């Protein structure tokens, strides 16, 4: 069965520091992978996605993610975090049968001054 694991429930980083949010997936075929961000009281906004090709994908707001098939991982990174990045981040895997999205439990990011 498809599943997504985000090992870190909550992460705190200092403003200006680098960030890496972890995501591991379980999927039998080549996965479609996504990162979404959710600000309080808002819906989910797509940050970036991986379908195929280059394993390092660039997204909005300065985020990037790297697909590593050997590790079944799709970690999200940002070189320098801004206070406005404080939010909850969700990793998701998409099934190519039906197209449904399965989400991880989310990682809440706090940014300290």
Partner 1 sequence: DARVTQTPRHKVTEMGQEVTMRCQPILGHNTVFWYRQTMMQGLELLAYFRNRAPLDDSGMPKDRFSAEMPDATLATLKIQPSEPRDSAVYFCASGQPFLTSDGYTFGSGTRLTVV
First-to-last C-alpha distance (Å) of the chain: 41
Q: Where does the chain have alpha helices with state H?
A: none
Instruction: Give the residue, chosen from 44, 65, 87, 93, that forms a contact with partner 1 under the rule CB under 8 A.
Output: 44
Among 23, 27, 106, 107, binds partner 1 (CB under 8 A): 106
Q: From the list 19, 73, 86, 103, which residue makes contact with partner 1 (rule: CB under 8 A)?
A: 103
Q: From CA 18, how far away is CA 81, in angstroms rounded?
A: 6
Residues 6+ apart with CB under 8 A from 79: 18, 62
CB of 86 to partner 1, least distance (A): 18
Q: Binding of partner 1 at residue 3 (CB under 8 A)?
A: no
Residue with tokens 């439990």: 105
Residues 39 and 87 sit within 8 Å (Cβ to Cβ): yes
Candidates 55, 71, 80, 96; binder of partner 1 (CB under 8 A) is 96
Contact set with partner 1 (CB under 8 A): 32, 34, 36, 42-46, 49, 51, 90, 94, 96, 98-106
């Amino acid at each position: 069965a498809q599943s997504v694991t985000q090992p870190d429930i909550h992460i705190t980083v200092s403003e200006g520091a680098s960030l890496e949010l972890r995501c591991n997936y379980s999927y039998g075929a080549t996965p479609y992978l996504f990162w979404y961000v959710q600000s309080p009281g808002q819906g989910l906004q797509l940050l970036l996605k991986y379908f195929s090709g280059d394993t390092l994908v660039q997204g909005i707001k300065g985020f990037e993610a790297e697909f590593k098939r050997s590790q079944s991982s799709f970690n999200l990174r940002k070189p320098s975090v801004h206070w406005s990045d404080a939010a909850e981040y969700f990793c998701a895997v998409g099934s190519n049968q039906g197209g449904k999205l399965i989400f991880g439990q989310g990682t809440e990011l706090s940014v300290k001054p």
